[in-house]
Structure 1
Amino acid sequence: MTARTQEEIVTRIRALRAHRRDIFGFREEVLVEALDLDHARQLLGPGTPGGWTPRVDHETYARDYLRFAIGKIIDHRGNSASRSVDKLGELAWLLGRDDIVRAMDHTSYPMYGAPTVKAFADGFGWPFLDDLDSDDQRALARMADGQQCDPQGCQRGCAD
């Protein structure tokens, strides 16, 4: 996969800031971790730690974060699920997958972002349901279709 250049990442961070499209900084967090020390200092200032270690394996991070995001969806964690959607979108962008970013942008956000996270997983051809027990698989599949996790009614927070 083609990763973005340092200059592209800096430009994207500046655009997020200028357009206030990342109020809580979750997207920027992913992007800054992809910068080397010199580029990070451009954005964070001279106080950037001298031992700065950028994250270089974005694909492994994206795979791991996908599992984390699925857990937040299943656990009905609204804020954490929303943060996960933002971070996964930036990881897809970092990996040069504008097609996945577009697919994620064209889904709706019901059920803790399950349809959007499924678009991310499907775009990469990564498992979405495989590592789950059968009850969680059924619940997540329903949520990815925009339905409550339980056809009999959810006791944890889903709403039609």
Structure 2
Amino acid sequence: MTIRTQEEIVTRIWALRANSGDAFGFREEVLVEALDLDHAHQVIAPRHSAEWNQRADHESYARDYLRFAIGKIIDHRGNSASRSVDKLGELAWLLGRDDIVAAMDHADYPMYGAPKVKAFADGFGWPFLDDLDGDGRLSLARMADGQQCDPPGCERGCAD
């Protein structure tokens, strides 16, 4: 996969800042790690240059982060799941997949963003695993359809 150009990434970071479209900086974090040092200097303060690391393989990171995001959905972690959706959306953009960004934007957010994360996985053709908890009732697929994870009633916090 080909990632966006350095100039496109810098422009997107400035646009996110101008529109307050990334209140907690999760999207920007993904983007800054895609920049080389010269371009990173355009968007990070010099005092932070020592902390900056460039990520080399964004596709592997996206695959790993998808698994992480699914874990946050299964664990009913609201804030972490929201952060995961933001980061996955930015990874899709970074990897040049505007179709996936649009699918994620179109998907609803119930059940800890499961429909959005499923749109990401489906767009790349990567597995969206239907992991089950110990008693076999927790269903990620149900959550992606906007339903409770456990048909009799979720004890972890999700609701229809």
Bin of the TM-score, shorter chain as denominator length: over 0.9
Residue correspondence of structure 1 range 5-24 to structure 2 within 5 A: 5-24=5-24
Tell me the percent identity: 80
Give the TM-score of the pair, scaled to structure 1: 0.94
CA–CA distance in 2 between the matches of 1:47 and 1:5?
Answer: 25
Q: Is the 8 A contact 1:92 1:101 kept in 2?
A: yes
Question: Which segment is superposed worse, 102-111 or 41-50?
Answer: 41-50
For residues 135-157 of structure 1, the C-alpha deviation after alignment (integer angstroms, 9 at most, x for no partner) is 37x51010000000011011111
Residue correspondence of structure 1 range 72-151 to structure 2 within 5 A: 72-129=72-129, 132-133=131-132, 135=136, 139-151=139-151
Give the TM-score of the pair, scaled to structure 2: 0.94
Q: Is the 8 A contact 1:40 1:48 kept in 2?
A: no
- Matched residue SS, 1:24: coil
Q: How many pairs are equivalent?
A: 158
- Matched residue SS, 2:46: coil
Amino acid at match of 1:155: E
**Distance of aligned partners of 1:52 and 1:77 in 2 relative to their CA distance in 1, 3 Å threshold:** closer
CA–CA distance in 2 between the matches of 1:120 and 1:23?
Answer: 22
Q: Is the 8 A contact 1:13 1:28 kept in 2?
A: yes
| Cα-Cα RMSD | 1.5
Give how far 1:2 is off: 2.0
CA–CA distance in 2 between the matches of 1:149 and 1:50?
Answer: 43
Structure 1 residues not aligned, in runs of 5+: none
